[in-house]
Copies of this chain bind each other. A is one copy, B any other.
Amino acid sequence: MSNRTPAAGQTLAAARPARRGRPGNDVESVLAAAVRLFNDGGYDYTSMVDIAESLRITKSSLYHHVSSKEQLLQMAMDRALDGLFEALSAADRAAGHATALQRLECLVRSSVLVLADRMEFVTLLLRVRGNTAVEQQALRRRREFDARVTALVKQAQAEGGVRPDVDAATAARLLFGMVNSLTEWYRPRRGGATHLADTVTALAFDGLRQR
């Protein structure tokens, strides 16, 4: 038996790489487990004990990685919102050489890719209702995002790129209603996100009708 022990130990280490001397990876797996539980059972109804149990670690081990449930929610909200705001900033940076319509198309396409890549975080973002300070701040950032998309739609209308007969705020909400619906039905698969981003952008700007 004794000559098998190191191998067994290696197997264990390989199966649990995130919990062996790599604190960076550990936080990632804690965050992933927490977000899965928040999405399945609701943030309010998930405890730090539930998160520790799902990871098969003790509560004190969990607190070694994160200080509170709120911190995990904050991290999840940042993952989702930072991705969307980076897409917005990239669109803004193109202002010198791209029309507002082109930037809006680029934003829709990038947002689909962010959602596909950060599905669990965005799903949680779309479910929070503002019961805590962290949720309220996330809702404020979502409203800021919506306002900036609306401003971009307005600019595209002023430039003649977007139809003028549609209210800009309504258009922005419907655009992102379509994009956000991905969290309800999209299941990531290799290469699928780029194709889906093309489809969403095509439908959003040119519609379903054959021409």
| Closest A-B pairs by Cβ, 5 of them | A177-B181, A207-B207, A206-B207, A178-B178, A205-B209
Chain B residue contacts of A205, Cβ below 8 A: 207-209
CA distance A167 to B184 in the complex (A): 17
Find the B residue at minimum CB distance from A153.
B208
Q: Is A202 at the interface (CB under 8 A from chain B)?
A: yes
CA distance A45 to B204 in the complex (A): 38
Q: Is A182 at the interface (CB under 8 A from chain B)?
A: yes
Flag if A208 contacts B162 (CB, 8 Å).
yes
Task: Summarize A's interface: helix, strand, loop or mixed.
Answer: helix
Q: Which of A12-20, A48-56, A66-74, A168-176 touches B?
A: A168-176
Q: Is A42 at the interface (CB under 8 A from chain B)?
A: yes
Chain B residue contacts of A202, Cβ below 8 A: 163, 165-166
Contact partner, A210, options B126, B160, B178, B207, Cβ 8 Å: B160
A45-B45, A181-B178 known; A203 vs B166 contact (CB < 8 Å): yes
Contact partner, A181, options B164, B180, B206, Cβ 8 Å: B180
Q: Is A193 at the interface (CB under 8 A from chain B)?
A: no
Find the B residue at minimum CB distance from A184.
B177
Chain B residue contacts of A156, Cβ below 8 A: 208
Taking CB atoms and an 8 Å cut-off, the chain A residues in 122-141 that contact chain B are 126
Find the B residue at minimum CB distance from A183.
B177
CA distance A126 to B178 in the complex (A): 15
Contact partner, A204, options B153, B162, B167, B208, Cβ 8 Å: B208
